[in-house]
């Protein structure tokens, strides 16, 4: 049965997080939490989702070949070889209705983060008049850029709890018609950050039907799509129909190719939306240096380094299987590189985070910092910690052994 937001299944910006914490970076809050203390052992940082695997070998030579192109301003839409490489990769990787047009259906991004942020503003301008206060929906917990984008677009953020009970994905059946009628866009992350849940094709088809019926945009964050346990995650583009209407997908080389500092990604899909998005980005967004786009061309043309990347993550999840077992509700996630561990029986997420740092030198993030309070006072991230499996295998094993020893 549909529920009317706000409810226990959807909360707005009006929810009263203590001390205005809802507007703050979870990492700034973590730094303040730990600031009075020193790590009890050598520091192992598993709080930031910054890949630490080696940079691919081709990066240096490609940069050197195109070094002179740092001497000109890049076009906002991206160079043609980059857009063509993205179109080819998408067609090979996903079962799309048709190949995306490199000219009108793909834009380069300065990493997916800025694209996800600015997309909220573009969507608020692009969609027809809303019936009431414009709203942007997002999973809860969520990537902070979603909330920042909604606020910048002067839209009401509505947080949809993603819990064990709903498979860690927003419950589409809990969205009532009144909320959908004023929705500008919905952010969806698959694989989900932090829980690693993967949306099925049927889920995307249901979401697409809602977007078509109510005229809002689907902003699909797929930056973890190339890190998975067994089955490759699908894309919202696969369920978007031949015109890709109301759907855009965001990708980045940060996770796929271990290039978080390069800041290159793309958005692909609905041509009419991307036209409006390009107009905004042309005056408001950082341009992507041409030499970096040439590195991206090489990256999207090579799968060997991506397969090696998956292998390294697979080894670390094998370690988690062995060391954690069934503790803390651990189950190997379908995608992504994070553990979402239930520490509610160990003092809660803040207390466990402090103990791990003070006694073991292991830095993780309290789950409540990644989520927002619901109207009933609950926080879907409370009682969990997020552990980013970004270090090498030896360091990861040491961190997991410390975690078990300290919490037990």
In the prediction, which pLDDT does 5 show? Answer: 39
Cβ atoms within 10 A of the Cβ of 267, count?
Answer: 28
CATH topology of domain 59-302: 3.40.640
Locate the domains of the chain by residue range: 21-49+305-407, 59-302
Side by side, the strands of the sheet bearing 365-366 are 338-342, 384-388, 365-366
Residue pair 60/262 in contact by the 8 Å Cβ criterion = no
Q: What is the DSSP string of 340-371?
A: EEE-GGGT-HHHHHHHHHHHH-EE-EEGGGGS
Bridge partners for 11 per DSSP: 159
What is the rounded distance in angstroms from the CA atom of residue 366 to the CA atom of residue 383? 8
Q: Which residue has the tokens 């390294």?
A: 312
Phi/psi of residue 208, each to 5°?
Answer: -60, -40
pLDDT digits (tens, 9 = 90+) for 76-105: 999 999 999 999 999 999 999 999 999 999
Residues 57-70 as b or e (16 or more Cβ within 10 Å = b)? eebeebbeebeebe
The pTM of this model reads: 0.94
Bridge-based pairing state of the strands 156-161 and 135-140: parallel
In the prediction, which pLDDT does 375 show? Answer: 85
Give the CA distances from residue 112 to residues 107, 115, 145, in Å, rounded to whole numbers and listed in that order. Answer: 11, 5, 10
Element holding 22 (H helix, E strand): none
In the prediction, which pLDDT does 7 show? Answer: 42
**DSSP H helical segments within 265-303, as ranges?**
271-284, 290-300
Q: Which residue has the tokens 């060997």?
A: 304
What is the rounded distance in angstroms from the CA atom of residue 342 to the CA atom of residue 156? 30
**Per-residue pLDDT tens digits of the chain, which is 408 residues long:** 333 333 445 555 444 444 345 578 999 999 999 999 999 999 999 999 999 999 999 999 999 999 999 999 999 999 999 999 999 999 999 999 999 999 999 999 999 999 999 999 999 999 999 999 999 999 999 999 999 999 999 999 999 999 999 999 999 999 999 999 999 999 999 999 999 999 999 999 999 999 999 999 999 999 999 999 999 999 999 999 999 999 999 999 999 999 999 999 999 999 999 999 999 999 999 899 999 999 999 999 999 999 999 999 999 999 999 999 999 999 999 999 999 999 999 999 999 999 999 999 999 999 999 999 988 899 999 999 999 999 999 999 999 999 999 999
Q: Which residue has the tokens 């809990």?
A: 174
Phi/psi of residue 296, each to 5°?
Answer: -65, -35
Percent helix / strand / coil, the chain, rounded to 5: 45, 15, 40
Element holding 187 (H helix, E strand): strand 183-189
> In CATH, which of 3.90.1640.10, 3.30.70.260, 3.40.50.300, 3.90.1150.10 is domain 21-49+305-407?
3.90.1150.10
Residues 208-217 as b or e (16 or more Cβ within 10 Å = b)? bebbeebbbb
């Amino acid at each position: 049965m549909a529920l009317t937001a706000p409810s226990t299944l959807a909360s707005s910006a009006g929810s009263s997080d203590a001390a205005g914490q809802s507007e703050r970076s979870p990492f700034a809050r973590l730094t303040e939490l730990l600031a009075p203390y020193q790590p009890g052992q050598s520091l192992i940082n598993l709080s930031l989702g910054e890949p630490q695997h080696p940079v691919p070998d081709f990066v240096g030579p490609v940069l050197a070949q195109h070094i002179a192109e740092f001497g000109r301003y890049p076009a906002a839409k991206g160079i043609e070889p980059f857009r063509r490489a993205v179109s080819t990769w998408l067609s090979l990787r996903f079962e799309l209705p048709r190949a995306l047009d490199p000219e009108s259906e793909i834009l380069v991004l300065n990493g997916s983060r800025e694209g996800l942020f600015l997309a909220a503003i573009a969507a608020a301008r692009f969609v027809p008049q809303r019936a009431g206060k414009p709203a942007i929906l997002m999973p809860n917990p969520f990537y902070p850029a979603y909330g920042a984008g909604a606020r910048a677009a002067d839209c009401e953020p509505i947080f949809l709890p993603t819990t064990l009970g709903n498979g860690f994905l927003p419950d589409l059946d809990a969205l009532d018609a009144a909320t959908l009628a004023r929705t500008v866009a919905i952010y969806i992350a698959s694989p989900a950050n932090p829980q690693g849940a993967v949306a099925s094709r049927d889920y995307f088809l249901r979401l697409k039907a809602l977007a078509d019926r109510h005229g809002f945009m689907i902003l699909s964050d797929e930056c973890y799509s190339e890190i998975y346990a067994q089955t490759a995650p699908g894309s919202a583009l696969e369920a978007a129909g031949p015109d890709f209407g109301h759907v855009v997908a965001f990708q980045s080389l940060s996770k796929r190719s271990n290039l978080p500092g390069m800041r290159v990604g793309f958005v692909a899909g609905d041509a009419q939306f991307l036209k409006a998005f390009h107009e905004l980005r042309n005056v408001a967004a950082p341009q992507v240096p041409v030499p970096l786009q040439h590195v991206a061309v090489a990256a999207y043309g090579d799968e060997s380094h991506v397969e090696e990347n998956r292998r390294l993550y697979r080894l670390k999840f094998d370690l988690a299987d062995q060391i954690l077992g069934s503790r803390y509700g651990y189950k190997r996630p379908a995608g992504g590189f994070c553990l979402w561990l239930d520490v509610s029986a160990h003092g809660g997420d803040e207390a466990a985070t402090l103990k791990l740092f003070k006694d073991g030198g292991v830095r993780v993030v309290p789950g409540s910092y990644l989520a927002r309070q619901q109207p009933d006072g609950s926080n879907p991230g409370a009682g969990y910690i997020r552990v980013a499996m970004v270090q090498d295998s030896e360091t990861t094993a040491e961190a997991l052994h410390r975690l078990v020893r300290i919490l037990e």
